[in-house]
Amino acid sequence: MTKPPIYILAIESSCDDTAAAVLENNKVLSNIVARQSIHEEYGGVVPELASRAHQQNIVPVIDVALKKANIDKSQLSGIAFTQGPGLMGSLLVGSSFAKSMALALNIPLVAVHHMHAHVLAHFIEEEGFDKPEFPFLAMTISGGHTQIIKVKSFFDMEVIGETTDDAVGEAFDKSAKILGLPYPGGPLIDKFAAEGNPKAFQFTKPKVDGLNFSFSGLKTQILYFIQKNVAQNPNFIQENKNDICASIQYTIIQILMDKLKLAVAETGINQIAIGGGVSANSGIRATLKEGEQKYGWKTFIPKFEYTTDNAAMIGIVGYHKYLENQFEDASVVSKARIEF
Ligand code: KG4
Ligand code: ZN
């Protein structure tokens, strides 16, 4: 007899995107994200505005996710939500909603670590996308994190390298801000870089021991470089935008690739998966893919919609935790910071 399907409603509200998804086992039936454009004019996420927008968005986003999946709430098996890390006010909107709904429907509640979700997004069933085998290396690159993780099983992960200051997404966003681009600037740097020469300008890579990263020096270097050149030519940025973006992106990719090569050498693991918003970057995706031929790696690059924050990735972790009966009661608390 085949087992009845498990339907998980997943809610993600850790930062500035309100997201809901419905999964049938490991397949995504719907994946809805309401992006908050309000932050653009402030050059970064304003926590107070983010929580207010989550409150406005959460009901319609969940409604659309259920409708699009063609699932009635009475059919749900469980509710998964992001417990952390993230902005406390944002997390509370998602967790309070998830708790109340699970209580009302009398179904299990599953708490999910946002960064586990970026790693495990690779286990969503998608045509044309292979799943990694344990153990594999995951590099999570987002606006808040830059980590290399040894993933031994669904619930056993070890951080073997991480940033000592800024996250790689911040390096993109802060560089973009220096160039006068709106927040988040990462996707814009990607876009302009596609038309530019990556070797036009040279930036030095930071020297950081082992598998750790540092990006704050690069940001300062870019700031001084721009200030110096704009002092000589006020139109420097406009005239060289594509080349500047390509050179910044190239330097960031080299920093990431150097550490990945070292991680493979140290662990002997050559399956590499990337996750997090910055894994949407076309230069990073292409360079990693080249690693298959160059270094004999097997690489896993998430489907575009599972790179930046989304609830489908929360749902896949929710599904695997559901299978293991890893449930929470209503006393579970949101955490701005959580241990890996
Ligand atoms: O994972 P995510 O959506 O949110 C966090 O958990 O931080 O990542 C957002 C980050 C931002 O810094 C954004 O600029 C960056 O991902 N990002 C990109 C690209 N798309 C998003 N960075 C470079 N190239 C992109 N195409
Ligand atoms: Zn994220």
Q: Is 166 in the pocket of ligand 1 (CB under 6 A)?
A: no
Q: Are residues 155 and 220 in the same domain?
A: yes
Q: Could you write out the DSSP letters of every residue in 113-180?
A: EHHHHHHHGGGS--TT-PPP-SSEEEEEESSS-EEEEEEEETTEEEEEEEBSSS-HHHHHHHHHHHTT
In a domain, 264, yes or no: yes
Contact present, 174 and 187 (Cβ < 8 Å): no
Candidates 178, 213, 182, 197; CA nearest to 249 is 197
- Please report which ligand is nearest the Cα atom of 168: 1
Q: Is 277 in the pocket of ligand 1 (CB under 6 A)?
A: yes
In a domain, 198, yes or no: yes
Q: Are residues 81 and 166 in the same domain?
A: no
Q: Could you write out the DSSP letters of every residue in 300-315?
A: E---GGGTSS-SHHHH
Candidates 329, 321, 318, 324; CA nearest to 81 is 318
Contact present, 6 and 322 (Cβ < 8 Å): yes
How much of the chain exceeds pLDDT 90, in percent? 91
Measured by CA distance, the residue closest to atom 22 of ligand 1 is 186
- Structure tokens of 127? 């045509």
Supply the Cα-derived Rg of the chain in whole angstroms.
Answer: 20
What is the C-alpha to C-alpha distance for residues 213 and 94, in angstroms, rounded to an integer? 31
- Structure tokens of 196? 């530019």
Q: Are residues 136 and 220 in the same domain?
A: yes
Closest-lying ligand 1 atom to the alpha carbon of residue 307? 1
Pocket test for ligand 1, best of 118, 142, 145, 181 (most atoms within 8 A of CB): 142
Q: Are residues 57 and 108 in the same domain?
A: yes
Report pLDDT digits (tens) over 76-133.
999 999 999 999 999 999 999 999 999 999 999 999 999 999 999 999 999 999 999 9
- Please report the sign of the dihedral spanned by the C-alpha atoms of residue 200, residue 217, residue 301, residue 176: negative
226 contacts: CB under 8 Å, gap ≥ 6: 178, 179, 236, 237, 244
- Structure tokens of 160? 């073997």
CA 14 to ligand 2 centroid distance, Å: 8
**Residue 296 DSSP code:** -
Q: Are residues 243 and 190 in the same domain?
A: yes
pLDDT given at position 35: 84
Assess whether pLDDT exceeds 90 at residue 44.
no
Closest-lying ligand 1 atom to the alpha carbon of residue 168? 12
Report pLDDT digits (tens) over 264-286.
999 999 999 999 999 999 999 99
Q: Is 173 in the pocket of ligand 1 (CB under 6 A)?
A: yes
- Structure tokens of 23? 């999964």
Report pLDDT digits (tens) over 221-259.
999 999 999 999 999 999 999 999 999 999 999 999 999
Contact present, 215 and 171 (Cβ < 8 Å): yes
pLDDT given at position 109: 98
Q: Are residues 67 and 89 in the same domain?
A: yes
What residues form the annotated binding site for Fe cation? 114, 118, 309
Q: Are residues 42 and 116 in the same domain?
A: yes
Check residue 25 and give left, alpha or beta (phi > 0: left; psi -120 to 50: alpha).
left
- Structure tokens of 5? 């399907």
Q: Are residues 150 and 274 in the same domain?
A: yes
Report pLDDT digits (tens) over 2-23.
889 999 999 999 988 999 999 9
Q: How confident is the model at residue 203 (pLDDT cuts 50, 70, 90)?
A: very high
Q: Is 142 in the pocket of ligand 1 (CB under 6 A)?
A: yes
Q: Are residues 82 and 160 in the same domain?
A: no
Q: Are residues 182 and 114 in the same domain?
A: no
Beta strands in 5-155 (DSSP E): 7-12, 17-24, 27-35, 78-84, 109-113, 136-141, 146-153
Report pLDDT digits (tens) over 148-161.
999 999 999 999 99
Give the CATH number, domain containing residue 24. Answer: 3.30.420.40
Q: Are residues 152 and 202 in the same domain?
A: yes
User: 287 is in which domain, residue-wise?
Assistant: 132-301
Please indicate whether residue 311 or residue 340 has the higher confidence score (pLDDT).
311
Amino acid identity for residue 100 in this structure: S
Pocket test for ligand 1, best of 119, 251, 278 (most atoms within 8 A of CB): 278
Tally of domains within the chain: 2
Q: Stretch 309-316: mean pLDDT, rounded?
A: 97
pLDDT given at position 216: 95
Q: Are residues 171 and 278 in the same domain?
A: yes
